Amino acid sequence: MPKITIVETGLVSAAQRARHGSFPQMFERMIAAADAAASFATVRLIDGEALPDPARLEAILITGSAAGVYDDLDWIAPLERFVRAAYDARTPMVGVCFGHQLIAQALGGVVRKSEKGWGIGRHVYDVVPGNGVIDGDKLAIAASHQDQVITPPTDARTILHSPFTPHAGLLYGNGAALSVQPHPEFDAAFAQVCCDKAGQSGAPEPLVATAKASLEQPLDRAGLGGAIAQFLARPRGG
């Protein structure tokens, strides 16, 4: 298993971090459950830490964030350049939620706030058959987003989709980049926290209640988490 460099683009509040961990810690638990030999390094981009040369990294994972990829933040453009360099170097790379949107935007896709509103709670996605990365017909995973990939990059193939999120998972043309909109690193307890936070940010109360109730049903975290771990362990170039 290669060393996975996690690019931290969002912060969990101190109170919730004490209970659930940071985003990198959630990913570490998810990947270690699939491969106990995995090792990790974190680049705290959200705190101003510089990005390394992606061609020298073994594998990359970009986390979620409360930010939008279209926000005027000084670290967005450098992260897009990092993604393009990693793509050119064919360094195995995965993005989740914000990371999904950022990779898509950096490689030519279109991302914006969706007119469909908040996607929270347990969402069920169709898996495109024979995609070579994710097994099964359907996956139920926690979601927490308003933004979506509206138009994927021209060389990206949609491998995970739902009526709410038509481009929920993308496999990119170089064979070494994968991104997904939902959060396999979130357990049901933290996904409930995200529902409450969405409510505080304007999500309608009935939607929040329905989303929280949906999380009483099982999540296929191990299926998608294991697929991500295997993808990151691929030899350079896919």
Convert the pLDDT of each residue in 144-162 to its tens digit: 999 999 999 999 999 999 9
How many angstroms separate the CA atoms of 226 and 233, rounded? 11
Q: How many angstroms from the chain centroid is the CA of residue 144? A: 10
Q: Where are the domains of the chain?
A: 3-112+147-186+221-232
pLDDT band of 1, cuts 50, 70, 90: confident
Q: What's the whole-model pTM score? A: 0.96
Name the nearest CA neighbour of 120 among 63, 165, 171: 165
How many angstroms separate the CA atoms of 64 and 28, rounded? 14
pLDDT at 235: 80
CATH of 3-112+147-186+221-232, one of 1.10.150.530, 3.40.50.970, 3.40.50.300, 3.40.50.880: 3.40.50.880
